[in-house]
Structure 1
Amino acid sequence: MTRLLRNLTGLLVFFLLWEGFVRAGFVNALFLPPPTIVFARLFELLGDPVFLGHVIASALAWLIAMAITIAIAVPAGLLLGSVKWLRDSTKVLVELLRPIPSVALIPLVLLVIGGGPEAKITLAVYASVWPILFNTIYAMSEIDPVLTETARSYGTSKTRMLSSVALPHAAPFIFTGIRMSSAIALILVVSTEFLAGASKGIGQFLVGASEGSGRMDLVLAGTVVAGLLGYLSNEGLERLGRRLFRWSTVDREAVK
């Protein structure tokens, strides 16, 4: 409760400074509307079925991207983390692909798979797969050898060892990667909609509001909605993580 009050206080101070800055005439309200106008437009948009359709389109693409990312990154991380020769043989390829900015791949993705929802999902998966993958690999390398040797001494099979030893140890690290990837996936979905001209989505709404009518109040209201989606997902995952992994001593915020 104390943490929530601190967060709300900081947010309120920010909005008050923003309002005062604009009202004092330091910047033209047409280019940077004050928060009172932005939130008025926001409440109007929440009752607009067209805008809600854009939000749903972005949220669905984001959720699909996260599901695909987890389905790819977790098994791949467990495999690479447990098979040293495979991890060593793929290290160069992984380190070559990982630094490539996802937005730089937009022209290639549009050319190969077109500009539908598949494009933003593909780019979101590409960008968000790395935190989960590397957290999983790191978790596998940190397993206490005593645990694995004890399991082997009792004749535990490799499959059983993976499910009863490796996964419980790696779970908090994997969950941290999922939290990090959730924010990255949302950024890529909205960015791709904005840059690649999607037919639906928050990014497309922002393009229409800025280029079509020059309505910065609508642009900022749409941006606030995207920010709220990111905040709520992170807060929800954080609370879920605290419930699921109370037993863990891993500092999940510090794992990169």
Structure 2
Amino acid sequence: MTPPTTTTRPEHAGPGTRDGRSGRPRLPGAALPAVTVLGVLLLAELVSRLGVLPTRYFPPASEMFVALAGQVVDPSFWVSVGQTLQGWGAGLGIAVLLAVPVGLALGTVPLLYTAVRPIVEFLRPIPSVALIPLVVLAIGTGAASKVFLAAFAAFWQLLIPVIYGVRDTDPVARDTGRAFRLGRFGVLRWIVLPAAVPYLATGLRIASATALILAVTAELVIGVPGLGGAINLARSAGAPDRMYALIIATGLLGWGLNAAFRAVERRVLHWHPSHREAVA
């Protein structure tokens, strides 16, 4: 009779340690994106310094970040950021005020959804940028045009998830609510809305990015004050380092807004199975 063999399980490889199975060094999950970004910046620095790309149009990444540091201490930069955020916030707010009740109505009343579906399917694919000439003619070149374009683009990103969230409500839960005599408003308040909130949260995060894109696009094309207008001004002044610095700042602004919406979503939807699994 052979004695039972015991196997020792490899110890858990913590962050920054070696993998227990292969013995190779392993990066923590949070460090991998940072290493990737650092590698891309290093590559951009090399191709510019070595002359692969003309420095007149593609300055080294180090010069871009030096220009970005100069912009951060410039009060006019923060004025431009505030102007962009004003257009973004106003457009997104209008989209929420319109898309949520309309989506609830269309998702709750199938006959109404069937009646307006051709209009929705016709308007939704229209690129908001294609409306810029019409907006300039009808509204002008002021901040209202930026708000309209941001609201129009964000509206569809919110409307469709709300409709599908309402329509995806468990029919058994609806019937249970009716059996307990909750009434139409009670079913909407306690059953339909909680079922649609995860869809709304995802749509809101996507609509936020879309509204920012359209706000900056309006500033670039129409000339509305903001980060897009500052980028255009740097381009026309022949300052590519400042232009790329403002582009980086715009990207960081979008990344920060997306991270903020994700944090709020995790906090509000901590009860949802997907977020419980992520926490676990």
Asked if TM exceeds 0.5, the reply is yes
**Is 1:147 aligned with 2:147?**
no
| Residue 82 of structure 2 is aligned to residue 56 of structure 1 | yes
* Equivalent residue, structure 1, for 2:233: 208
Equivalent residues, number: 249
1-side partners of 2:232 and 2:199: how far apart?
Answer: 37
> Is contact 1:172-1:250 (8 Å) kept?
no
Aligned to 2:19: none
Q: Report sequence identity in percent.
A: 35
Q: Distance in 2 between matches of 1:159 and 1:33?
A: 60
Equivalent in the alignment of 1:38: 64
Q: Which residue of structure 2 lines up, in the alignment, with residue 254 of structure 1?
A: none
TM superposition outliers: structure 1 runs of 4+ over 4 Å? none
User: 2:217 is matched with which residue?
Assistant: 191
What letter is aligned with 1:151? G
Q: CA offset at residue 250 of structure 1?
A: 5.0
**In structure 2, distance between residues paired with 1:50 and 1:232:** 20
Residues 51-71 of structure 1: CA deviation (Å, up to 9, x unaligned): 221111001111111111111
Q: Of 102, 119, 123, which aligns to 2:145? A: 119
Please say if residues 191 and 203 of structure 1, whose CA atoms lie closer than 8 Å, have aligned partners that are also in contact. Answer: yes
Structure 1 stretches lacking a partner, 5+ long:
252-256
Q: Which position in structure 1 is the counterpart of 2:123?
A: 97
In structure 2, how many angstroms separate the alpha carbons of the residues matched to 1:250 and 1:122? 34
Q: Which residue of 1 aligns with 2:259?
A: 235
Q: Give the C-alpha shift of residue 46 in structure 1.
A: 0.9
CA contact (8 A) 1:73 1:130 kept: yes
The one-letter amino acid of 1:202's match is L
Larger radius of gyration: 2
Which whole-Å CA distance do the structure 2 matches of 1:52 and 1:185 have between them? 19
In 2, the alpha carbon distance for the partners of 1:33 and 1:4 equals 29
| TM-score, length basis structure 1 | 0.94
2:10 equivalent to 1:11: no
Match of 2:53 among 27, 36, 56: 27
1:227 deviation in Å?
0.3
TM-score (norm 2): 0.86
| Alignment partner of 2:200 out of 174, 180, 189 | 174
Please state which structure has a larger fraction of its residues in helix. Answer: 1
